[in-house]
A and B are shown apart, each in its own frame.
Chain A
């Protein structure tokens, strides 16, 4: 499929980002990035902390002025038509704290008053399952409820594009899942969602396309499936060797080199205390691996096999993990 045909199928771009760059002193937070977001998709910005995700979003929202480059939202330039941009976007900021002493209904009404065109408050709060909390003060809400309220406030003007900056950070698994449902419903109602996260499972599950960011640069942009299959390795094999510490260096290197030669193996790596093999032929690789261990009298442990994930893609492309350790 050509890129043209793909675009027609997936809808026209609603956000166009060209050469955005942002420096803070000598530190370059965003280093010249380009991408398009298509109407109606959930677009993920995935990367570790400090990758430049938030700065990127804030430049598109018009909250930060880029040093170079430009961004257009729904055809409006963020530098020259910011007021029009603001009417078509809804924003949930990473660290927004709401007025703790106001009631849910009151703060929603207040935010609604900032816009000319708004949606009715009742159904809006219902859509984020807060209809029973209308008259509760914000400070009495749980973390998940506060985050859902923040999302409701981002939807109060019926925006075309919704920006969610790490919406699930700090939430418990149950609250995360509730929030995922809400985000998927937003797409069903025709919203374009730009979502930043450092959880690869979240990105994989929610996003139609993912923009992988690291150190202010876009390192890959594709659907989750394509990102993984582009590694040409569907599966991963992990294991440890307990007596390895007594091994001479040469034997370790020898093992790694041999693992590369197993059929199907694309990548073989040693990370911390674990060997990781990526393969496109799990059965054959595994059979040969076990035969090799038997022949060489290697005693392995904690063997596991799994499908490759975005985390593997990220590590493969950057040599580093998504989460800081």
Chain B
């Protein structure tokens, strides 16, 4: 039963991500990437990692992909993209090498020794509680560091974006004196 579900999900995910890579249309690429992200959460659900599955849905499908989509609104999403590919061989070589390295990194532990969980969850806890316990005991410092990093990124983003936020863009362009602008540029 689980095997059927796993292979169905895997084939679908792989197929969708292949569409993402090979499609020349932004909209297809984005939709298939989003659909793949949703299906990945299916893999988590199969492994009884309900919490991670839901988080995958919220974070990757709900938030990150939507931000991608937001970026893609600046292009005409219904047209095909013409790729500018000056040297196909070097692109092929580089991407091939990086793919091989990635596969090697993730496959090495699986081949070398069977993966063992570093931490075994305490009995009688459900999935969410187990994750919480591990995050706030053994991995507290990495967790907090990640949180601080996100905070730093957020503050930086706000600072970068909030320059002249109180003025409207049209006002800025109207008030701008061409000579002053030139001086500022120099």
A binds B: no
